[in-house]
Each structure stands twice: as structure tokens, then as C-alpha cells.
Structure 1
Amino acid sequence: MARLLRALGRLPFRAVPGRAVRCRADSGGLRARSGPGDAGSLTKRGPTLSKSEWQKKLTPEQFHVTREKGTEPPFSGIYLNNKESGMYHCVCCDSPLFSSWSVVNVWHSSEKKYCSGTGWPSFSEAHGTSGSDESNTGILRRVDTSLGPARMEVVCKQCEAHLGHVFPDGPGPAGQRFCINSVALTFKPRKR
């Protein structure tokens, strides 16, 4: 998967037919519709809130990042230097997204949350990942060309909140760096 992402990052971006996510307005606010074969079809949608309902529920910064695809300033997030073991949840719908505890098995030991030096909390994989299979995670990946070159956006599978981006320059074995906005997360310490 990491090799594929690296190879895709070097290619000029062209739209892939049938992979676009289209939005339409309805009485409940914006709701994504997925094209054929789009990973968005895996979304477990709950009730959709309107823009004004999201603005009431979230702080202005949380709203800007999660609902308007913004970003917090680097090195400003409350979870950047958090070293406590626990689970990071979506600030909008409370879905579990990333864990910070170590994985130890016969082959290696790795921290899922690590210091990448980029200014945002970084994770090597989403909670629920099994090898390269992310079907049991709380996230979806979407192509983002808003700044020109194609990047991979990370959104909450439950409520489609923008969380950040994933890059192919992280630690092994998968080589991924999930660069996530602190303001899009809530942290729940691990019970001992």
C-alpha cells in the first residue's frame, strides 16, 4: 500500500472516472453521495446535521477544520505532544479513530502515535487497521486536489468530518504518516 501511495504521489493527477464524491443539498444539510466503487460507500452515516447545527455544536475552529476542510496552525494543537496512552475520537461524532498505545508482536514494536516534527499529531495507522486492510477503521481516504498536487485526505467514516491528510513518508512497516488536526479530535485516556 505504501509503495502504491508513493507511486501515485509521483504521477500527475487526473480524475479517475467513477471515483468522485458528489454532494447535494437536502433538508438535513450536505450529504455525500458516492460514485460507483468509491470508498465513500462504506460510510456508516448517522443523522446529518445542518450547517447551523454544526456551528452550535462545535467551536469556530472545530467547525472550520472539520466542516470546511481547514487546518489548525502547525505546533498549536493540544494533542501534538500528548504522550499518554488512549484513544483519539472524532470531535463531531465521537467515533474512535486513532490509538496511541504501542503494538508489540513477534516481529516488531511500534508506537501508533509518534513525533513526526511536522507540527501536527501523527499516527502510523488508524485504529482497527489489520495489515493493509482499513475496512474496520473509522476513517475514509479521499483524493484532495485543493492545493494543486493530489494528496490523500482523511475523513471520519461516520460523519465525514475532515481530519487531516495521510502521506507515504511515515515509519515502517506501512510507511504512512496520518497528519491529523488536534482540533478534530477528542482524547480518552486508556483505562489501566
Structure 2
Amino acid sequence: MPRRNLLVALGSSLGAFFTGVSRAEAASKAQDPAWQLSEASWKKRLNPAAYNVLRQEGTERPFSSPLNSEKRPGTFVCAGCALPLFSSKAKYESGTGWPSFWQPLPNGIATKVDFKLIVPRTEYHCRRCGGHQGHVFDDGPKPSGKRYCNNGAALNFIPG
């Protein structure tokens, strides 16, 4: 088993141990009861890449999302439920290979601690459907100093 896979598996196990929540359960906790769908319903609703990220807390390969280079004015919404999460005004080029934002829209996300890589990180999910979006780091630009590092597969873009 490659070292990274071993660390992810160990971190997921430790995270489940400390939080009492499995990886699959964590992504399915929706704050809106209308979005508490079965895994079968999510699989029908989402393409495989979006399902992997949103429901199984996967991570897409860096530089693989067309949204990484999206520069038009508009809104980035959850690919699971279309809740607006980020304005294009908050998007910036972080050089990481994932769409990055310095600020989410109000009431768009919820955070939790993630132990997948053993070191605790702040993970964020769509507030409405519970879909995993990415992680937030303290190395972003002003004014917030935050970098919301998002999986492109977890987003759709609405121009305008």
C-alpha cells in the first residue's frame, strides 16, 4: 500500500474513533431534511467524480478541474444541491491546482475537524446537503487570510 494511502486510511480510522462518525456518514449529514438522501439516490443524482468527492470525501487530482481556470463573474454552487457557496469575486489563483477562494458566501458552508492525514485540519461541507467540498487553511490572501481549497468536482459554476 502506498504511504499516502496508508496515512489516509489510518487518519480516517482515527478520525472515526475520535468523532464516532464514519467517512461515509460524515458526508451524508445534511442540515436540511429535504437533502437527507439515500446513497443510492446520491449515486443516481451525481456523476462518479462528484459522488466520490461529495459523498465519500474524496479528493480530485490537482489541476484536473476546468473550474480551476474559471475567471468569469458568477457564483460557484454545490454540485449536490445547487446552494450558492462562493462568489467569483472571492476566487483567486492559489497555485495549488484546486479552485481557491478567500471567503465563502454567508450560510453556505459548515466546518468540522478532519483527522484523515492524522494532523487535524478544518474540513468544510455544503451546509444544506452535507456534501464534502474541501479544506480551509490559514495561508490565503487578505482580507481574510483564509484559503478555501475546493474540489472542482464538488462545484458547478453559474455565470452572471
If the length of structure 2 is used for normalisation, what is the TM-score?
Answer: 0.81
Paired position in structure 1 for 2:59: 71
TM-superposition CA deviations, 1:45-88 (whole Å, max 9, x none)? 42311111111111111101100000110000110011101001
* The one of 31, 43, 49 aligned to 1:55: 43
Distance 1:163 1:21, change over 3 A: farther
TM-superposition CA deviations, 1:123-151 (whole Å, max 9, x none)? 000012xxxxxxxx210011000111001
RMSD between aligned residues: 2.2
Structure 2 unaligned blocks of 5 or more: 1-13
Paired position in structure 2 for 1:124: 102
Aligned residue pairs, count: 141
Higher helix share: 2
Q: Which whole-Å CA distance do the structure 2 matches of 1:21 and 1:92 have between them?
A: 25
Q: Which whole-Å CA distance do the structure 2 matches of 1:170 and 1:146 have between them?
A: 22
1:153 and 2:123 correspond: yes
Paired position in structure 2 for 1:176: 146
Structure 1 unaligned blocks of 5 or more: 1-14, 33-39, 102-111, 129-136
TM-superposition CA deviations, 1:90-122 (whole Å, max 9, x none)? 011110000112xxxxxxxxxx10000000000
* The one of 94, 109, 131 aligned to 1:139: 109
Matches within 5 A, 1:77-116: 77-101=65-89, 112-116=90-94
Paired position in structure 2 for 1:7: none
Q: Which whole-Å CA distance do the structure 2 matches of 1:147 and 1:31 have between them?
A: 21
Q: Which whole-Å CA distance do the structure 2 matches of 1:166 and 1:21 have between them?
A: 22
Question: Percent of pairs identical after alignment?
Answer: 43
* C-alpha displacement of 1:21: 7.0
